[in-house]
Copies of this chain bind each other. A is one copy, B any other.
Amino acid sequence: MNLAQSVLKGDRLALARTLTQVENDSAEGRAALAEIFPHTGKAHLIGVTGAPGTGKSSLVNQLALHFRREGKRVAILAVDPSSPFTGGAVLGDRVRMRDLAGDAGVFIRSMATRGSLGGLAQATAAMTQVFDAAGFDVTLIETVGAGQSEVDIARLAHTTLVVEAPGLGDDIQAIKAGILEIADVLVINKADRPGVENTEKALKSMLELAHPTRHVFMHHGQVMAEDEGGQKSAPLDARMWLPPIQRTVAVDGTGIAELAAHIAAHAEHLRASGDWAARERARLGSEMDALLQDALMARFRAEVPNGKFESTLAKVYERSLSPWEAVTLLLNGRQK
């Protein structure tokens, strides 16, 4: 039985080894990925992102426990793109371990960034496929911060939670319109802290800015809109999803069940609207683009004559060729 087959059988050691091979983008990892790929596409990928200090790790921990109680198998992938040099996610793992250790229905993995641009989102996508094939019903992808990497990783998920906390929102910049726009569910964690009303008010006004409709509310399970004159409109397009705002206190479990209900509702919405398939396609498309880029670059490097690349680069260092001129020269030279 090879590595991929052992993963499909549910062997945890094989799973751990495959994840490492996939993270390292080794030949063994690629072979395993190709073999398990037909068995993917079942898991619900949930992204959890937000600024440092919002308590994301505890929240992910509590969500995992909740899903376990529902009988689901849960993988946690903690991605830390802000620590390209050191493995920053280790501490979070140790905290988590206390509640989840020894549960065969849970698998926790952390990863720091890989060297190349785009490599992190690529490795994350591949690792979620391994969990998916291994039969995990839910993968929680936890990212730190609010940069482009987090947005790229959020795009991998079916459902993205953006976590805020009271007190961090004092500064206008702390609540970024951009990060809000990737949110499917907004979480105000540490909601027992003072200032929670202000945080919620700020989030609501940001949401109103992001959505053209002035007042939107739920009515018998349908999203309704109210225009400026207060007239109630017909139910909005079923494809529309308005990010709910959920208060939680992760450390004591407050609001976790309600949050899980929002997540389930979002998954249902995705399936009903056809967005589930659309997100899968977008994800696979960008995964292919990234692989293609790597392969083209590797082939180019192999084909360009020895020393040609270095001598051209030297001319760029002397500023006698611009980078663009150098690239044009290298590409044309190769075709001759």
List A residues at the B interface (Cβ < 8 Å): 30, 33-34, 37-38, 40-41, 51-53, 80-86, 88, 91, 112-113, 117-118, 120-121, 144-152, 168, 170-174, 176-179, 181, 280-281, 284-285, 287-293, 295-297, 299-300, 313, 316-317, 319-328, 330-331
Q: Contact check, A152 vs B319: say whether CB atoms are below 8 A apart.
A: no
**Candidate in A40, A151, A152 with the most chain B CB atoms within 10 angstroms:** A151
Q: Which residue of B lies closest to A283 (CB)?
A: B323
Residues of the B chain whose Cβ atoms lie less than 8 Å from the Cβ of A323: 37, 284, 287-288, 291
Q: Contact check, A86 vs B147: say whether CB atoms are below 8 A apart.
A: no
Q: Quick one: copies of this chain in the complex?
A: 2
Q: Which residue of B lies closest to A92 (CB)?
A: B173
Q: Contact check, B146 vs A288: say whether CB atoms are below 8 A apart.
A: no
The 8 A-B residue pairs with the shortest CB-CB distance in the complex, in nearest-first order: A147-B147, A83-B178, A37-B322, A53-B171, A117-B118, A52-B173, A148-B149, A81-B148
Give Cα distance in the complex from A176 to B290, angstroms: 28
Q: Contact check, A176 vs B52: say whether CB atoms are below 8 A apart.
A: yes
Q: Which residue of B lies closest to A125 (CB)?
A: B323
Q: Which residue of B lies closest to A318 (CB)?
A: B38
Give Cα distance in the complex from A98 to B38, angstroms: 59
- Which of B51, B173, B295, B322 is close to A327, meaning CB atoms less than 8 Å apart? B295
12 chain-A/chain-B pairs, Cβ below 8 angstroms: A40-B319, A51-B52, A53-B171, A82-B146, A84-B178, A88-B178, A112-B178, A117-B290, A148-B148, A284-B317, A292-B297, A292-B300
